[in-house]
Amino acid sequence: MSIRKFERKAVAVPSSRLSRLAKLGGLATSITGAVAAEGARRLARGERPRLEDLLLTPANAMRAADELARMRGAAMKVGQMISMDAGDMLPPELAQIFDRLRAEAHHMPWPQLKRVLAQAWGAGWRDRFESFDIHPVAAASIGQVHRARTRDGRDLAIKVQYPGVRRSINSDVDNVASLMRVAGLVPAGTSIAPMLAEAKRQLHEEADYEREGRRLAQFGALLADRPEFRVPDLYPDLTTPSVLAMSYVEGGPVETLAAAPQAERNRAMTLLIGLLFRELFEFRLMQTDPNFANYRYAPETAQVILLDFGATRALADAFVDRYRRLLRAGLEGDRGGVRAAALEIGILSGGAPARMERALIEMFEMSLEPLRQDTPFDFGASDLAMRMRDAGMAMAEDRAHFRIPPMDTLLLQRKFGGVYMLATRLRARVDLRALIEPHL
């Protein structure tokens, strides 16, 4: 979670299943009513509007984004996932509205926050602190962050989970999935059951702050010999399943590097892409959430700060080895080897028609362009992202054969895509060939 000044107003989190269902039900009713009214207006003008044109409007996107931001929890998290995974598939005005879900949520008012902390630490919790800022420095989908100082002098960032998050995960995911189907965001005939099961599993893990604390400490140990990176220290004595206590680390949003000199931008992205390859091939442990807010930058020390390890996932040796074979075959131009490895991983399915196989392999080969060249790849000057988007949208049109890949593959692709988006935002130039070769 990012550490920054927070500006949105305090809004109590609906914590019971019934109140959360009512919120989503009200949202569905509101959207349905808006669709009926707009459809009637267009029919009166002699138009024959398509249902998806009535559903995917800026007004409906605004309704959905605002309600999900008020609800927080799994409902907002699923909305964030949609905005990350499908943002390029949406019209620009809709993508911009959903982008708000990745920025910041409302935060809990002080009376609700006091109750949550008393449940976690006991009634006399304030006696342990010299100061505790009741105004959060950040808020996101599952929790908000407060700055505090203990009586023994520790400067802390305290992440506090919203009430009711854990027990509402399954119902939130199911209800938001129903909204997605109503809105036509799910291709007809496509089973999203594996994705929903993974979303629930991942969200239950993210809602366990003791587990996140262990992953935080694990990454801190893995990168202890790399002073270019900074991972906050964990404080287990103040950490519970709903409260995570860590050292406060000063830094600014990584996107502010866009105004930095070219060499500084190149170095930061070289570090992050190098870390991505180490997570996959060396650590076999990956922080799979590509949200930019999980990275901060300290200009004074030139350190990249890593935050939010709730979505960390261990990768099986067999999966990593298959991915290594896939990349090696792709870089060697061995299309038969690419097909064999892609079938093993699940990127290709045995029953796909030849045209779909060919399109997927060509899209994969396109994605390797930055790794093939021996000179730094210029993310800011490349149109690769647009070509990949166009190829992906063309494949998505073949809805009869559209299949969601296995979750490990999907999460890895999502992480690669997020890092690529960040490198493009920073207009970085990175020698990716030099970064990947030691791992192949």
Hey, which residues are catalytic here?
A: 289
Classify residue 363 as left (phi > 0), alpha (psi -120 to 50) or beta: alpha
Contacts of 8 (CB under 8 A, 6+ apart): 104, 105, 106, 107, 139
Single-letter amino acid code for the residue at 277: F
305, 251 in Cβ contact below 8 A?
Answer: yes
Q: How far apart are CA 287 and CA 272, in angstroms?
A: 12
112, 61 in Cβ contact below 8 A?
Answer: no
CA dihedral 269, 423, 385, 273 (to 10 degrees): 20
8, 100 in Cβ contact below 8 A?
Answer: no
7, 158 in Cβ contact below 8 A?
Answer: no
Place of tokens 């060249």: 373
293, 140 in Cβ contact below 8 A?
Answer: yes
Residue 101, both tokens: 């879900």
Q: What burial letters (b/e) apply to 213-245, b meaning 16+ CB within 10 Å? A: bbbbbbbbebbeeeeebbbbebbeebbbebbbb
Question: First CA to last CA across the chain, in angstroms?
Answer: 32
Distances (CA, A) of 61 to 64, 88, 358: 5, 15, 35
Classify residue 212 as left (phi > 0), alpha (psi -120 to 50) or beta: alpha
What is the full DSSP assignment across 108-134? --HHHHHHHHHHHH-TTGGGGEEEE-S
Q: How far apart are CA 314 and CA 419, in angstroms?
A: 19
281, 198 in Cβ contact below 8 A?
Answer: no
E strand spans, 99-248: 129-132, 138-139, 143-150, 155-161, 229-230, 243-247
Contacts of 300 (CB under 8 A, 6+ apart): none
